[in-house]
Amino acid sequence: MTALRDGHVVIAPDKFKGSLTAPEAAAHVAAGLRRVHPDARLMPLPVADGGDGTVDAAVAAGFDRVRAVVSGPTGERVTASYAVRGEVAVIELAEASGLRHLPGGRLEPLTASSTGTGELIGAAVRAGARRIVLGLGGSACTDGGAGMAAALGARLLGPDGRELPSGGAALRELDAIDAAGLADRLRDVTVVVASDVDSPLLGEDGAARVYGPQKGAGPDDVRVLEEGLARLDAVVRRDLGVEAADRPGAGAAGGTGFGAMAFLSARIEPGITYLLDLLGFTEHLEGARLVITGEGSLDRQTLRGKAPAGVARAAARKGVPVVAVSGRSGLTGEELRQAGFAGAYALTDLEPDPARCMDQAGPLLERLAEEIGRAWLEDPVPSTRDDGTEVPR
């Protein structure tokens, strides 16, 4: 066997949606590498871009997990968790208000609410958090963050002076907002939204029309939700003096991005860039020989700011090569090279049946990792294929 190269390997995948969490994916990659190089120095650092798995990634990086019982998207009680380190709390909307918490999986596009997300933020603040990092993604609701705001003390009132029921449809009846109670609860608290969605709140590219159908909204429902969000925007501008509907990211998570900016004075940051900094990714690159990243599907969405692309950009700044693993890859060699990937390996290279890839993702990922270990952790160094990715000489 040729000599093992110096330097450690950073293993930084996102989740393989429907198959493996990011920590599970990192563990399988590590297991495969150790089979061919038992003495290799491995540094697992699962990552996320603000969507599902953000709390898990923070916990894997050394944050503590805290559990709380909060309202699910349709009002049922669910157990959710957030991650905390010092005065920083990482909160994931999907933990409380995500599609996975819909009873029986039944979609409720008009009435689902972000209330539980606000309850999680409140729990973290009461426990001492002074910086909230809010990851958006996987939401079941299109309520513009109204439920989140109400859980934190805002009063959203109808024409009769009563508080509105939950959900995006009810916002059409919004008459006034009283945010005094919210301001008291969030005094001296900074909120940062980590999101890779740059859509506005309203219009053809907005929360209702683009993402509403994914949450079960038919054409009539989409019109209702659009009207509700437009009314929320109008009353926010009048009563709070905030114009946020056209800001990039306002449409994220059913408009929760808008709600975070309007009610919580949040700023929106590119999800993966901000979270890599929070997790100390750059420091882990010092002395690294290789970075292995990946997600379930490498495609053009990956190139628009998903976790693997962010990892590749960060590693490139340190001159560390990056290879990607995925369930499948729809990118050309040139697209991979332009995005900063020196190599790419897919489970479908080993098993063409997508169903088997999903079912056997862990063992197949270990086999890919063995191949990567032979190709990248031994001398001589790799050379480039015609398609732009690299293989051993």
CA 172 to CA 164: how far, in whole Å?
A: 10
- 243 with 294, same domain: the answer is no
Asked if 226 and 327 sit in the same domain, the reply is: no
Examine the domain organization and report whether 188 and 257 are in the same domain.
Answer: yes
Cα separations in angstroms, 338 against 102, 299, 318, 362, 373: 40, 13, 16, 28, 23
Nearest to 354 by CA among 13, 15, 18: 18
67 and 179: one domain? Answer: yes
Residue 259 in domain: yes
CA 217 – CA 225 distance, rounded (Å):
9
SS (H, E, C) 277-310: HHCCHHHHHCCEEEEEEEEEEECHHHHCCCHHHH
Which residue, chain included where needed, has tokens 């750059």?
282
Which CATH number covers residue 329?
3.40.50.10350
Residue type, 316: A
- Residue where the block lists tokens 């919580």: 264
Check whether residue 121 and residue 23 sit in a common domain.
no
Confirm whether 312 is domain-assigned: yes
Q: Which two tokens stand for residue 172?
A: 């059409």
Among candidates 296, 294, 297, 272, which has minimal Cα distance to 282?
A: 272
The number of folded domains in the chain is 2
In a domain, 2, yes or no: no
Residue 223 lies in a domain: yes
Domain containing 261: what range? 54-273
Last residue of a domain, one of 242, 273, 304: 273
In the chain, which residues have pLDDT < 70?
A: 1-5, 379-393
- The domain boundary, picked from 238, 273, 308, lies at 273
Strand ranges inside the chain, DSSP E = 8-13, 42-44, 64-71, 77-85, 88-92, 131-135, 155-157, 176-178, 190-195, 267-270, 288-298, 322-329, 343-346, 382-384, 390-392
Same domain for 341 and 229: no
CATH classification of the domain holding 61: 3.90.1510.10
| 159 in the same domain as 132 | yes
Q: Are residues 307 and 243 in the same domain?
A: no
Residue type, 19: S
Residue 379: predicted pLDDT = 67
Same domain for 214 and 349?
no
The pLDDT assigned to 6 comes to 73
**Both 257 and 387 in a single domain?**
no
335 lies in some domain? yes
pTM for the structure as a whole:
0.88
In this structure, are 258 and 373 located in the same domain? no
- Report the pLDDT value the prediction gives residue 5, as an integer from 0 to 100: 61
Contact 97, 141 (CB under 8 A): yes
In a domain, residue 1? The reply is no
Residue that is last in its domain, among 239, 273, 307? 273
Return the DSSP state at 207: I
251 with 288, same domain: the answer is no
Domain assignment of residue 314, yes or no: yes
Under DSSP, the state recorded for 208 is I
Q: Can you give the pLDDT at residue 183? A: 82
Question: Nearest to residue 311, comparing CAs of 324, 296, 301?
Answer: 324
Please give the torsion angle defined by the CA atoms of residues 163, 168, 170 and 171, in that order, rounded to the nearest 10 degrees: 70
3 belongs to a structural domain: no
